Chains A and B, each alone.
Chain A
């Protein structure tokens, strides 16, 4: 069958290219906004993604991952004693201060854990052996934070609170948009850093001591025994540890993501950008289709005069819209993927384009183009076939 739609579309190549640029812009805007929202949301719970716990135990005041009060270390022992718990480990996640060589300071987030942990292990590791953090005042930082922390790489030293911090390894890509740079270390180091006096750096700091019952941690990560009912275990933990808040890993993820989306209004802002993209795309496609139909009015009139059904002509316009959608979407999405990779490498800002996002944007593009075709279809519907007899 002769594709009048395709032929009409490619007949005027410069105009077609302008139209496709408009659609690409719309696709890009929608994809990047949604990708940024995805990236932002994911980034807010990146730390949770590095854990393989079934349940997180936190202070009962917990608001979200980054806002909670500490727990006593003895909670770990109590949790281990609860029936159905296969393993429990402590995790410290608290803020303190990074001192630059220039004596300026910046906030950081100390993440203290057992490097032999089975429930929390930052990954991927770019350089170094995680067990090295057992050495006093040894730390891992993320390669994306090197510039921000003014560190060249492994072997460099800086100060956290009033103690030194020697970089012994690097992670790759564990960076949160909503949090200060993560500094990974052992539990004793973390406690030492968090308890260190802020006043002035100490030249010979004491060797960090193992944790005791009264030391403060932030979370207890729990792994249930195989086949254990998680909700049942949650209930038993809540009963055994009355002053705590017990959440499954997915509940904590959801709580945290919801908090950041709602409290910052980021969902609204980025969503607004996506809507603007859709409007711009609809207007561009609508204009192009409308002017294409206007240009070919006589031909459409001729078809009507010859006895074509309205639907046959609508199909031509809709096919044209579909071609525009596909040919605008593909390069638009390609551009977004490249841009996403570039921003991740250069700025460490993740534009997360999930397969579902890509499929959703395609659907939006097709809907946008088909919606824009309505104006052109209306024009054809009103077209008087007798027009063909006017020279």
Chain B
């Protein structure tokens, strides 16, 4: 395990379960005649309930790592255990079922269904998880209340601001009580103040729900919200922030 930066670490905390355990993760692509290694042997361990950031320059391999840890991409080498279940070697179908039951996703572009209202976007995810009818409606409303958007439940995504869309996306990620949330640049499309509010919200809800959060980000302003920051460069985890890491400059400094 490579611990680079601890913002909220508590050394006196009781021993917790490991939510994510990755060992020797490699990912190679064939680009024309050349083999390209996006990940060159990653070892990573994340404890249950932590909020951890994956940071690094563009093309460093963070999103690939996130996709692999989420069971969406299969690594060319290495082993991954999520929530006590070894996922490397699982069939596509079983992996999908595992994701459905255990992982919530938040995306940079929100990825909401444009034809569905805020509530329906959450209901559709609940439907996917087998929760239907009145139970799905009730849960969707409860989640929207949690992200303070109950009054916008009938709005289509096009009628919501960027921050509101991401709050719906967070509510959707929390639908069905996942134990792990994977987020890809969740604040990239938002201005700094809204980005910070969203992160505070995510942190609060994750703690309330007992979720582990792993987030890819470029945004250094949200480091203080995380328990730990892991830096990735050239497909490897490095012990400190890379010298050439150029994160976008915040428009507003978070308090």
Footprint of B on A, CB under 8 Å? 1-2, 4, 7-8, 10-11, 296, 298-299, 301-309, 312, 385-386, 388-389, 391
Contact = CB atoms under 8 A, between A and B. Distances in A.
Contact of B73 (A8, A296, A386): A386
A169 B70 CA distance: 85
Interface string B115-128: 11000100111011
Nearest to B68: A386
B93 interface: yes
Contacts of B88: none
B97 A307 contact: yes
Contacts of A386: 67, 72-73
Given A2-B120, A386-B73, A388-B111, A302 B127 contact: no
B219 interface: no
Nearest to A12: B115
Question: Would you list the 7 A-B pairs with minimal beta carbon distance, nearest first?
Answer: A307-B100, A307-B99, A7-B115, A11-B115, A302-B111, A391-B108, A307-B96
A299 B113 contact: yes
B103 interface: yes
A389 B120 contact: no
Given A11-B114, A307-B101, A312-B128, 7 more contacts: A2-B120, A2-B124, A307-B100, A388-B72, A389-B107, A389-B184, A391-B189
B231 interface: no
24 contacts: A1-B127, A2-B116, A2-B123, A2-B127, A4-B116, A7-B116, A8-B113, A10-B115, A302-B107, A305-B72, A305-B99, A305-B105, A306-B103, A306-B125, A307-B99, A307-B100, A307-B101, A308-B96, A308-B100, A309-B96, A388-B72, A388-B111, A389-B67, A389-B107
B111 A307 contact: no
B124 A307 contact: no
Interface of B: 63, 66-67, 70, 72-73, 93, 96-101, 103-105, 107-109, 111-116, 120, 123-125, 127-128, 132-133, 136, 184-185, 188-189
Contacts of B100: 306-308
A10 B116 CA distance: 11
B134 to A, nearest CB: 11
A391 B127 CA distance: 26
A13 to B, nearest CB: 11
Given A2-B127, A303-B128, A312-B128, A391 B116 contact: no
Given A7-B116, A306-B100, A389-B63, A298 B127 contact: no
A312 B124 CA distance: 11
A52 to B, nearest CB: 59
Contacts of A309: 93, 96-97
Contacts of A298: 109, 111
A307 B94 CA distance: 9
A305 B132 contact: no
A301 B99 CA distance: 13
A302 B96 CA distance: 12
Given A2-B123, A386-B73, A308 B128 contact: yes
Contacts of A388: 72, 105, 107, 111, 184
Contacts of A2: 116, 120, 123-124, 127, 136
Contacts of A301: 111
A178 B55 CA distance: 82
Contacts of A11: 114-115
A4 B115 contact: yes
Contacts of B132: 1
Contact of B105 (A4, A8, A306): A306
Contacts of A307: 96-101, 103, 128
Contacts of B125: 306
B35 to A, nearest CB: 19
A304 B115 contact: no
Contacts of B98: 307
B96 A304 contact: yes
A1 to B, nearest CB: 5
A299 B101 contact: no
A305 B127 contact: no
B165 to A, nearest CB: 13
A303 B93 CA distance: 14
A4 B113 contact: yes
B159 to A, nearest CB: 14
B128 A305 contact: no
B139 to A, nearest CB: 13
Contacts of B111: 298-299, 301-302, 388
A2 B108 CA distance: 24
Contacts of B128: 303, 306-308, 312
B157 to A, nearest CB: 11
Contacts of A8: 113, 115
B133 A389 contact: no
A385 B63 CA distance: 13
B70, B97, B98 — most chain A CB neighbours (10 Å): B70
A308 B172 CA distance: 14
A307 B124 CA distance: 13
B127 A385 contact: no
* Residue in A11, A307, A309 whose Cβ sees the most chain B Cβ within 10 Å: A307
A2 B122 CA distance: 10
Contact of B188 (A303, A304, A391): A391
B70 A305 contact: yes
Contact of B120 (A7, A299, A391): A7
- A10, A304, A312, A386: most-surrounded residue (chain B CB, <10 A): A386
Given A11-B115, A305-B105, A391 B73 contact: no
A19 to B, nearest CB: 15
A309 B127 CA distance: 12
A7 B113 contact: yes
Nearest to A9: B115
